[in-house]
């Protein structure tokens, strides 16, 4: 499998799923109840990954749906200014709102999030708003698991997966499990399995793979044995501060350790990891190096106030890989 | 009709309806799309009126429902700290969220509001959560029209109205019309009529009375002719900068003019008006003076950043009445 | 209060509410599980009352909504053939279905009913489909309590009540309580009270008045004391085989006993009672005689297979009153 | 691929999906509006196929959900009496109703159906009600396409498909497309593709394959080219009176012609076809013979009043194959 940058394609990758608003506490070291001021950022895992990828120089596109209001217009402008193609960012016409995430910054270990995710615009993306010609122009399609949580976004994503397969576009499945958008874990397991079996690359935390398998305390061996029986060629499993692993269908195993950093908050780590990992693969780096890029990018973002705005440049990542010690576990 | 303070009652008034969150722009003179920082306040018309009344020294209670989350806890604490009895502020157990109002402060004439009102906790107040013994303890029940917009809050409020009538508690109906919570204007007209016919005091803008009558360009004469055929004894009709009118069943008419002020934003005016008007009535002032209190309070709040936090004291109101010129129209 | 036939009006009465399908067991003396054949009739309390009134010679109109399908067309034709004006029988355009009631005829005491009432067309009547000019043409508006069970039918009926009051059309409120269409009893009590307080005539069983009062084991004395404090002038309270009572605001009390009959099934009794009682009032008979007409009509319908098709003629009612013994209790 | 009867398994096949009520016109040659009497039968494609299979001597099981009412109990008893294992026929506890199909018998070409399919019990089967141990005991799992139309039944069926694959149980996908249960055709195409790609045998009409492909006027060549690129080994495509085709992955093509018969109504043909086709495969007959069994069974059922009750015996099928001429087209 070659993951090199595909110069024949208009987009290195297209992400599909939610683009939302983060409202991050402007005051630190206090619970949200006592936080009086919030700063607005673009948020949502696939939007963050697209922004992170564009920051690193990748040609990125986005398929999603935004509210027809001030927050929706902010999102569109921010992503467009970041260099992402937003031609497939559909404006909702049925009065749905932008998803919100209020965050507190209480301590590095405690950062509760208050989500507004009921009937949000991104989950109303429809099958007829997913365009085969657009997907054909991409080297990769990045699918966010949360976009499978509800209809009609669920069917729009399943259609995008079918179109990607039919057109030889590689599918990257970021499990991105957020319990509050799902009815129950069995349902999550059903759809995660359907998409993971059809993906080329699967990325998630150990806990997220457990959700996909509808189990607890699952092992990486079982996970890769199951998924390599289907289409996947690379499986990335993240174990938090213990580092992350990449497995290939041909039997290779890679591990990257986490970098030491001054953690401000934990959210945004996964998205920055994914964008840097994909950047490295797309630009022809080996899988071991790609893992390091992911780890380094994550450690930069957790030290900063936002997820999207904090996405690092290639220089920042490479500087950190060169100079920063890893966490030995 | 005597509206003097009722020393035999535990509460001068109880408000029923929503208590929400306002997120007001911290940056001025720009559209919300470019506003990056928001400051959190308690909001929602009946909550603001209760807070305003308590600030003026009235004994206030509140019947409502709040989310079981950080925003809900902030509201409960703020209202309790303001001196309001929050024993009937039910905590929602079904995952509903707190209503939100993002505001921009673009110019005194343009302050768009972005509402999050879908499936919010306050609209899930149920009939079995309205307690007859509690209502008996009040001199007045202040009903917010928005609380009639959806079931089951609608039925909870209709029950509260029936209980107030049965127990000789005066009913004040603040029309408080917010189109985004209603299915259509005919439905609004149906419920506004049912409650207005049973209220003792009705307060609203001319436009809101038009909604109640399912008409456009209605006249005050027709409105008072209709409502005085039923229970109401005082009808207050507000005409913006042209001032406001109070009519009594016995045929008196009062008018108050608006006070000159430096307007920062327009929202919050109606709530501060209502709280000061009721304060004056309850403390035995005549209706003409009560109108002045309402006008003065409104002109103070529109010059400040919030609705709830900005509610004035008696001294501030009386100072303004003494010194501030009115707008002649 | 004069209830004589109003020759100046186009309609003696207009009924508002549901028109549905009854599927009555063709086989007797067995549970529905073993019933293999069902016969189709028009059903639904206000439709039955309109049909019963028309059979007795009254000029009847109907406001309701029917499905755009074979059952809806059957209902429209049957009612039209019965002499009822169906110009205000709106055909639903949103795919809602006709309500169904499957009945078994197991024994006179046991006749379970299986209802299909979810999202049925009649409950989707809208406020804009209730026409003031039509209501003006009626002497009476008969309101079925079940039509208050859900929005938007609820608001359409509340609007019709307001229009009837404004135009001097007498309001007859048939409580017609069917628990399966309501969320809970407190909600029923709220709406039953609102309409009963505004009605001129209220008809129901003792159990139904208990629902209106949100109580159990209520007394007729309390009921009439409450309702005569508002608009009603005649209150009819039915006690099953023990007969029925009519109370007037001026203090009269009438009682009618039930007639002996060979009961096939119990459903349909209340509807035939109401149509004959109203017929007698409208044609100028005294209230005591009107109660007898109601009782006689009910005893005829419970001896026959259907509710609508079995509605008696004036001759049948008067024949039975002359010859049939009553049940002494 | 061997499809012989699997003596090691408890069930020759298990069907998953709906079991409903048909109410067939007792009077012929008239539109439903004029039909006054209806006869009750068990209906629903997978229930009919299970009943048909049991009539032919197969060991059949069923996974589904029925209403907790008289119709639900009738279904359970009828299927149990037919010899089907109903241990996995879950009784709904949330008040959902049994699906209904009223049919007219106007002429062989015109037999309109009036469906009650909103919020019916069968579509509320949940993932946790699908049991892996039960599915393990089957030689085949027959999936009805309609069971994919709505959540949570959709996810329950997708889980059953995953369990069947994991346990080596052959999957038969009967497309069974009923437009009224689906939101739109694109959504149908998404789920039909997901299941068809994972099935071993796919059965449908040419029109149903067009729905799966989200196209019109599709060709059998394209269909088999697409599906044989995935798991399917046998594809049956029915062309009405022009007969039906079976294709195998190894390249064989079989055709069966329709038998002449006196058609009373057309519904039930597909279900009887599927049950007889599967019976023949399971008992080791070749594919060409299996097609004849399907055709013969269908021609028997269309000549009779019901779908389920009319399912033929082996003797009736073989008698017809021996003696009845086919329709040449």
Question: What are the pLDDT digits (tens) for D292-327?
Answer: 999 999 999 999 988 999 999 999 999 999 998 888
Closest Cα of chain C to D30: distance in Å? 12
- Tell whether D70 is within 8 A of chain C (Cβ): yes
Residue C32 lies in a domain: no
Best CA proximity match to D316, nearest among D304, D328, D329: D304
Nearest to B40 among A38, A40, A69 (CB): A38
Average pLDDT for residues D201-223, to the nearest whole number? 97
What DSSP element (H or E) covers C317? Answer: helix C314-323
Strands C253-256 and C244-248 turn out to be: antiparallel
At A328, the pLDDT band (50, 70, 90 cuts) reads: confident
Q: Tokens representing D285?
A: 């007959």
Residue A168 makes CB contacts below 8 A (sequence gap 6+) with: none
pLDDT of C4 over the 80 cut: no
For A185, the closest chain D residue by CA position comes to D127
Which H helix or E strand runs over C113? strand C113-116
The least confident of C45-54, C76-85, D1-10 is D1-10
The pLDDT of residue B2 is 43
- The first and second tokens of residue C218, run together, are 């209520």
B104 φ, ψ to 5°? -100, 160
B126–chain C nearest CA distance, Å? 9
| Residue B30 burial by Cβ neighbours in a 10 Å radius (0-12, 13-18, 19+) | middle
Check residue B324 and give its pLDDT. Answer: 84
Q: Does C26 contact D36 at a Cβ distance shorter than 8 Å?
A: no
pLDDT confidence tier of residue B111, bands split at 50, 70 and 90: confident
Q: Which of A150, A155, A165, A185 to mutate to test the interface with D (most CBs of D within 10 A)?
A: A155
CB–CB contact B77 A40 (8 Å): no
The pLDDT, as a whole number, for residue B329 is 66
Decide: C264 and C231 in contact? Cβ < 8 Å: no
Q: Is the pLDDT of residue B264 over 70?
A: yes
Contact yes or no for C118 and D114 at CB 8 A: no
The shortest CB-CB distance from D127 to any of A127, A158, A190 is to: A190
- Taking only the tens place, the pLDDT of each residue in D35-64 is 999 999 999 999 999 999 999 999 999 999
Provide mean pLDDT across the span A304-321.
94
Residue A270 lies in a domain: yes
Q: What is the pTM of this model?
A: 0.94
At B327 the pLDDT is 80
Residue B322, helix vs strand vs coil:
helix
B102 touching A (Cβ < 8 Å):
yes
- Taking a C-beta distance cutoff of 8 angstroms, is the pair C43, C267 a contact? no
Q: C255-264: buried (b, 16+ CB within 10 Å) or exposed (e) per residue?
A: ebbbbebeeb
Cβ contact (<8 Å) for B187 and C162? no
C127 contacts on B by Cβ (under 8 Å): 184, 186-187, 190
Other CB atoms within 10 A of residue A54 CB: 22
Percentage of residues of chain B with pLDDT beyond 90: 88
Does the structure show a pLDDT above 60 at A3?
Answer: no
> What is residue A6's predicted lDDT score, i.e. its pLDDT?
55
Strands D244-248 and D60-66: unpaired
Is residue A39 within 8 angstroms of chain B, CB to CB? yes
Residue B6: per-residue pLDDT:
55
Q: Are A213 and A181 in contact (CB under 8 A)?
A: no
Structural domain includes residue A249: yes
Complete DSSP assignment for C297-312: HHHHHTTSS-SSTTPP
**How high does pLDDT run on average in chain D?**
94
- The rounded distance, in Å, linking the Cα atoms of D293 and D314 is 9
Distance CA A236, CA B212 (A): 61
Burial grade of C242 (CB within 10 A; 0-12, 13-18, 19 or more) = middle
A134 in a structural domain:
yes
Is residue A296 helix, strand or coil?
A: helix
Q: Is D8 exposed, middle or buried (0-12, 13-18, 19+ CB in 10 A)?
A: exposed
ipTM for this prediction: 0.94
Q: Which residues share a beta bridge with C62? A: C15
Is B158 in contact with C190 (Cβ distance < 8 A)?
yes
**Chain B neighbors of C148, CB-CB under 8 A:** none
Is residue A56 assigned to a domain? yes
Q: Which of B66, B68, B67, B63 is nearest to B88 (CA)?
A: B63
Q: How confident is the model at residue D1 (pLDDT cuts 50, 70, 90)?
A: very low
Mean pLDDT over residues D62-86, rounded?
A: 98
Q: Contacts of residue B97 in chain A, CB cutoff 8 Å?
A: 116, 118
The answer to whether the CB of C300 falls within 8 A of the CB of C312 is yes
Strands across the sheet with A170-174, in order?
A85-91, A60-66, A11-16, A138-144, A170-174, A201-205, A234-238, A244-248, A253-256
Check which CATH number belongs to the domain holding D317 and give it.
3.40.1190.20
Point out the residue among B36, B39, B114 whose CB comes nearest to the CB of A71: B114
* Number of Cβ within a 10 Å radius of residue C30: 14
Chains D and C touch (3+ CB pairs under 8 A): yes
* pLDDT at residue B4 tops 60: no
Domain of residue C318 covers 3-19+45-96+118-323
Question: What is the average pLDDT across B148-175?
Answer: 97
Question: In whole numbers, what is the pLDDT of chain C averaged over residues?
Answer: 94
Q: How many domains does chain A have?
A: 1
DSSP-assigned letters across all residues of D235-304: EEEE-GGG-EEEEETTS-EEEEPPBP---S-STTHHHHHHHHHHHHHHTT--HHHHHHHHHHHHHHHTTS
User: Which chain B residue shows the shortest CA-CA distance from C194?
Assistant: B194
Give the three-class secondary structure for C14: strand
Look at residue C30 and tell me if it is in a domain. no
The percentage of residues in chain C with a pLDDT greater than 70, rounded to a whole number, is: 98
What does the pLDDT read at residue A8?
Answer: 80
Question: pLDDT tens digits, residue range C89-98?
Answer: 999 999 999 9
Tell me the pLDDT tens digit for each residue of B54-102.
Answer: 999 999 999 999 999 999 999 999 999 999 999 999 999 999 999 999 9
List subunits contacting chain B, requiring 3 or more Cβ pairs under 8 Å: A, C
Question: In the prediction, which pLDDT does D275 show?
Answer: 98
Across the interface, of C162, C187, C193, the residue whose CB is closest to B162 is C193
* Residue D204 belongs to a domain: yes
Are C152 and B190 a contacting pair at CB < 8 A?
Answer: no
Name the minimum distance, in Å, from the CA of D8 to any CA of chain C: 36
Q: Is A11 on the interface with B (CB under 8 A)?
A: no
Four-CA torsion B86, B89, B90, B92, nearest 10 degrees: -120
Q: What is the mean pLDDT of residues A40-50?
A: 98
B vs D contact (3+ beta-carbon pairs below 8 A) = no
Contacts of D129 in chain A (CB under 8 A): none
Q: Is C116's CB within 8 Å of D114's CB?
A: no
Pairing mode of beta strands B85-91, B60-66: parallel
pLDDT by residue (tens digit) across D141-176? 999 999 999 999 999 999 999 999 999 999 999 999
Q: Which residue of B has its CA nearest to A32?
A: B70
Chain D interface test: which of A147, A158, A230 (most D C-beta within 10 Å): A158
**Class of residue D289 by CB neighbours under 10 A (exposed 0-12, middle 13-18, buried 19+):** middle
How close A100 gets to chain D, by Cα (Å)?
26
Average pLDDT over residues A149-156: 98
Mean of the per-residue pLDDT values of chain A: 95
DSSP code per residue over D178-210: -GGG-S-HHHHHHHHHHHHHH-SEEEEEHHHHH
Residue C5 has pLDDT above 60, yes or no: no
What are A220's two structure tokens? 């990486």
Q: Which residues pair with B143 in a beta bridge?
A: B16, B173
Q: Which residue has the tokens 């630190």?
A: A28
Looking up tokens 């189709």 gives C40
> What's C29's DSSP letter?
S
Q: How far apart are CA A301 and CA A261, in angstroms?
A: 10
pLDDT tops 90 at residue B23: yes
Distance between CA atoms of residues C39 and A137, nearest Å: 62
Residues C76-86: tens digit of each pLDDT: 999 999 999 99
Q: What residues of B are in contact with residue C159 (Cβ under 8 Å)?
A: 186, 189-190
Check: CB of residue C140 under 8 Å from CB of residue C20: no
Helix axes B287-301, B314-323, angle to 10 degrees: 100
What is the structure's pLDDT at A7? Answer: 61
Contacts of B105 in chain A (CB under 8 A): none
Is residue B265 assigned to a domain?
yes
Which chain B residues are Cβ-neighbours of A74 within 8 angstroms? 32-33
Q: Show which subunits contact D, needing at least 3 CB pairs below 8 angstroms.
A: A, C
pLDDT tens-place string over residues C98-157: 999 999 988 877 889 999 999 999 999 999 999 999 999 999 999 999 999 999 999 999
pLDDT score of D328 more than 80: no
Listing from the earlier edge strand, what are the strands of the sheet with C85-91? Answer: C85-91, C60-66, C11-16, C138-144, C170-174, C201-205, C234-238, C244-248, C253-256
pLDDT at D7 over 70: no
pLDDT at D265: 86
Is C215 in the B-facing interface, judged by CB distances under 8 Å?
A: no
Instruction: Give the Cα separation of D166 and D161 in Å (integer).
Output: 9
Which of D152, D155, D187 is opposite residue A155, by nearest beta carbon?
D187
Q: Which residues in chain C touch residue D33, judged by CB atoms under 8 angstroms apart?
A: 70, 73-74, 77
Reported as a single tens digit per residue, the pLDDT across A17-34 is 999 999 999 999 999 999
Q: Does B109 lie at the interface with A, CB-CB under 8 angstroms?
A: no
- Main-chain dihedrals φ then ψ at residue C14, nearest 5 degrees: -120, 130
> Cα–Cα distances in Å, from A55 out to A311, A315, B276, C133, C251?
7, 11, 54, 67, 86
Higher pLDDT, D162 or A6: D162
**Residue C151 DSSP one-character state:** T
Q: Residue range C51-55: average pLDDT?
A: 98
Q: Is residue B77 less than 8 Å (CB to CB) from chain A?
A: yes
- Chain centre to alpha carbon of residue D9: 21
Please indicate if any CB of chain A lies within 8 Å of the CB of D132. Answer: no
For residue A212, list chain D residues with Cβ-Cβ distance below 8 A.
Answer: none
How many Cβ pairs within 8 Å bridge chains A and D?
46
Higher pLDDT, B192 or C305: B192
- Residue D87's pLDDT band (boundaries 50, 70, 90)? very high
B33 at A interface, C-beta within 8 A? yes
pLDDT at D266: 82
Q: Is A127 on the interface with D (CB under 8 A)?
A: yes
Residue A157 three-state SS = helix
Contact D152 A187 (CB under 8 A): yes
Which pLDDT belongs to residue B108? 79
């Amino acid at each position: 499998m070659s993951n090199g940058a595909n110069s024949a394609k208009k987009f290195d990758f297209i992400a599909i799923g939610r683009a939302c608003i983060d409202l991050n506490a402007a005051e630190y070291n206090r619970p949200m109840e006592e936080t009086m001021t919030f700063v607005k950022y673009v948020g949502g895992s696939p939007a963050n990954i697209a922004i992170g990828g564009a920051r690193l120089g990748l040609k990125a596109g986005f398929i999603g749906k935004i509210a027809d209001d001030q927050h929706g217009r902010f999102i569109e402008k921010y992503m467009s200014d970041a260099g992402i193609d937003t031609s497939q960012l559909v404006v909702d016409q049925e009065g749905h709102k932008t998803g919100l995430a209020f965050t507190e910054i209480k301590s590095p270990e405690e950062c509760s999030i208050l989500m507004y995710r009921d009937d949000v615009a991104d989950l109303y993306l429809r099958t007829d708003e997913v365009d085969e010609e657009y997907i054909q122009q991409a080297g990769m399609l990045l699918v966010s698991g949360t976009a499978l949580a509800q209809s009609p976004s669920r069917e729009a994503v399943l259609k995008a997966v079918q179109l990607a397969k039919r057109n030889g576009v590689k599918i990257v499945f970021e499990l991105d499990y957020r319990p509050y958008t799902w009815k129950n874990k069995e349902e999550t397991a059903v759809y995660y399995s359907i998409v993971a079996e059809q993906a080329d690359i699967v990325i998630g935390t150990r806990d997220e793979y457990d959700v996909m398998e509808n189990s607890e305390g699952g092992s990486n061996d079982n996970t890769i044995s199951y998924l390599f029986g289907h289409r996947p060629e690379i499986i990335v499993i993240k174990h938090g501060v213990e580092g992350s692993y990449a497995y290939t269908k041909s039997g290779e195993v890679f591990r990257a350790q986490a970098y030491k950093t001054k953690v401000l908050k934990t959210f945004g780590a996964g998205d920055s990891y994914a964008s840097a990992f994909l950047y490295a693969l797309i630009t022809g780096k080996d899988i071991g190096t790609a893992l390091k890029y992911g780890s380094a990018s994550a450690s930069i973002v957790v030290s900063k106030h936002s997820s999207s705005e904090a996405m690092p440049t290639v220089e920042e990542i490479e500087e950190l890989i060169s100079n920063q010690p890893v966490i030995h576990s």
